[in-house]
Structure 1
Amino acid sequence: MDETEIPTLFLCPISLQLMRDPVTVCTGITYDRENIERWLFSCNKNKTCPVTKQSLSHNDLTPNHTLQRVIQAWCTDNIGAQTILSPKSIIDQTEIFKPLFESKKFPEKQLKCLRMLEFIAFESESNKNCLNSAGAIDFLASTMMLNKSQGVSNSSAIMSEVALEVLFHLNPSESQLKNLMNKEGVQFVESLFEVLKLGKFRSRAHAAVLLKSAFEVAGPTQLSNVTSELFVEIVRVLRDQISQEASKAALKLLVRLCSWGRNRSKAVEGGAVLVLIELLLDVSERRTCELMLIALDRLCGCAEGRAELVNHGAGVAVVSKKILRVSQVGSDRGVKILTSISRHSATPRVLHEMLLFGAVSKLCLVLQVEGSFKAKERARETLKLHSTVWRHSTCIPIPLLASYP
């Protein structure tokens, strides 16, 4: 049946789909429970009514039984359905405390309890909110840390992955993650690292996202004391291309960590520069490309990173290619990388490759087009620095020579 034939009263104002479980918010507007819960309990934590834009004094959702019966009757008469989906039951906190208590008291029931929490979490957004309020975040993190400390076994790996799955979908808040990192930061990171290293693709993707979020609230000491092995696993997530979400999380984590201590050298040792260059050759998505160039810029802040880039056959070429083709952010970072190379790694071979692969021509072009002042200044400084080698080269197109400083 065409959706336009359904009475407007029966449609959820957010999604314009037939309401299955109508509930009313404090402003008097009725929505489908699943849609309004997604609005209220998403990571943005919306506090307004989507229709009236009024602030909501509370998040209580009152079932609209009258409308539910009217929709039920209309469906039976018009589309031959004897029934529509039953409203989802609202979980009570006592139902959550029971599996939490049993899991702690009876270790042999731990997996069964985790599966129960998983079922509850996937039922609805309000269930996730209820799990959060009941302290499930701390319980799930503790379960992961406990199974990690008990060594590698099939059962402990399964329990860690189930706990991680639920933890990921509960989407811990910044304050909850900060609390975890302050109390048991080392053990929590190690448990996520274990899944990143040994877990299945789906679990590794979730671990990468949670690690990124955890290190966003970590302190300077935690950020500086990251192990070389963690960088190896971050690079492996990028290489395996598990999912776009996992790749972006790994890139953001790399960018975050490479501002601290010896992390840049550790990341280079883990193969970060080589993987980023190879991925840049084919990447087309704007934000992903920007993150890769930002990460490469951070890594070129150390001698090892610059050496890896110039020793890769496509390193200079791929960075040059991305300038003026991605975005202003991408161009700025690309110019900064070339400036760093020409300032600190300017061997005759490198200078010749910069000419041959179009890096010098791109720097001249940066001076001719609209762009950021900093990028132009860096390009001008780099061209002046090696003008005796580059200025009269036939590799630079004649129209671009006019802009050579």
Structure 2
Amino acid sequence: MDYSEIEVPAPFLCPISLHLMREPVTVSTGITYDRESIERWLFSCKNFTCPVTKQQVLQTQDLTPNHTLQRLIQNWCTQNHVSLDETTQHDSSSTIEKAQVVKLLNEAKRFSHDEKLKFLKWIKTIALESESNKQCLESAGAIDFLASTMDEAHSTLFIIEAGIELLFKLNPSIYQLKYLINNEKIHFFESLFHVLRLGNQESRTYATLLLKSSFGVANPTQLSCVKTEYFVEISRVIRDKISQEASKAALKLLVDLCSRGRNQVRAVEAGLVLNLIDLLIDSNNISEKRICELILIALDRLCGCAEGRAALLSHGAAVAAISKKILRVSCVASDRAVKILATVCRYSATLNLLQEMLVVGAVSKLCLVLQVDNGASNKAKERASEILKLHTKVWKNSPCIPVNLLSNYP
């Protein structure tokens, strides 16, 4: 049907093409357009001003569906016996086609920085509309395009941040992640750490989550040769507490990396031990116990080297903070805390350390571990017994050990 022959209420006409709106969307200026027409105006014609005034620059290219107007149009069509195309009955995923996306991605390679940033925001809007749109974008080569935008030598920080956010929301497959981290022309890890260093909190969260996923599919060489400066940025994510999601991902990544090569030493050099102790002290304010468990697991890994144990003992509150978590958080936390104390007592014990353990109640906690039925594993009980036997001459007659626990002392 030729809609130009129908007397259509003005609010239902697209201000650009003067045809009946099929899928009304509202732009940042508050004006509503037909999606197909405004997308052509913005991205095919590269116009970033308001189509009505031709002067007001659109601050964002986000397109918000106008569901109220959509229902009014459908009601009007029903009352006037007008049948719209099937596109009105489907979501916006039907408006995106692979050929169209391929063409736009090729054109976008020649965009200026400002145009490219606006184009990335448009892709994000499209990707969030539906799962089919995500699949269409991926098959059209959006991942390759995003990778090209992350080269810090040729892109601004804002573009790299937008590219990383969009890449995360596209949820790349294992194959795609391997392609990104193994392509020497992309410098994927460098771009992620560039955002960790200079980006805003939201983009740093996305970068941290992508790092966790990427190192999860990395090869042994990439895993065992992590640069010290990378650990510095991981440490900053943990220290800054930008989000609980980012903290978890950073801690899990740290645990994984510190089981390989000389990564333990590099992590210690980056100041991670001291940051973890500070975070452990503040963990009473953290509602989720998993954070506390991950901190203790990471500290356990770092205490596997002499540098890690020295760093831990250089923190005046380390022994007290670790001891405090025994029998208070979870069985996992108790086991790891006891293991850390066992490692330190076995390889780095001094008279000052042993006296400190008495004062802060660490020895009493070890005795309690032997008494309780729940709260600590059998392995934790074995380690507690080992520590007490190892230093029995120093602690046996100490008044710091409660009388009711002397019978449990080895």
TM-score (norm 1): 0.74
- 1:1-400 equivalences under 5 Å are 88-90=91-93, 91-106=96-111, 109-145=115-151, 148-150=152-154, 156-184=156-184, 187-283=187-283, 284=286, 285-370=288-373, 371-400=376-405
Distance in 2 between residues matched to 1:328 and 1:144, nearest whole Å: 43
1:357 is displaced (CA, Å) by: 0.9
1:282 is displaced (CA, Å) by: 2.1
The 1:185–1:328 alpha-carbon spacing in structure 2 relative to 1, beyond 3 Å, is: farther
Q: Which amino acid aligns with 1:258?
A: C
The 1:376–1:127 alpha-carbon spacing in structure 2 relative to 1, beyond 3 Å, is: same
Unaligned runs of at least 5 residues, structure 1: 1-67, 77-84
C-alpha contact (below 8 Å) 2:273/2:308 kept by paired residues: yes
Distance in 2 between residues matched to 1:138 and 1:399, nearest whole Å: 67
Partner in structure 2 of residue 32 of structure 1: none
C-alpha contact (below 8 Å) 2:189/2:211 kept by paired residues: yes
Q: Deviation digits for residues 207-246 of structure 1, max 9, x if unmatched?
A: 1111111111111110111111111111111111111111
1:378 is displaced (CA, Å) by: 1.1
1:187 is displaced (CA, Å) by: 1.3
Distance in 1 between residues matched to 2:147 and 2:338, nearest whole Å: 43
Distance in 1 between residues matched to 2:158 and 2:173, nearest whole Å: 25
The 1:185–1:276 alpha-carbon spacing in structure 2 relative to 1, beyond 3 Å, is: farther
TM-score (norm 2): 0.74
Q: How many residues align?
A: 321
1:106 is displaced (CA, Å) by: 4.7
Q: Which amino acid aligns with 1:149?
A: A
Distance in 1 between residues matched to 2:184 and 2:404, nearest whole Å: 61
1:92 is displaced (CA, Å) by: 2.0
Partner in structure 1 of residue 407 of structure 2: 402
Alignment RMSD, CA only?
A: 2.3
C-alpha contact (below 8 Å) 1:280/1:318 kept by paired residues: yes
C-alpha contact (below 8 Å) 1:367/1:403 kept by paired residues: yes
1:256 is displaced (CA, Å) by: 1.2
C-alpha contact (below 8 Å) 1:99/1:117 kept by paired residues: no
1:324 is displaced (CA, Å) by: 1.1
Classify the secondary structure of the residue corresponding to 1:119.
Answer: helix
Moved more, 172-181 or 393-402: 172-181
Classify the secondary structure of the residue corresponding to 2:401.
Answer: coil
Unaligned runs of at least 5 residues, structure 2: 1-69, 79-87
1:86 is displaced (CA, Å) by: 7.8
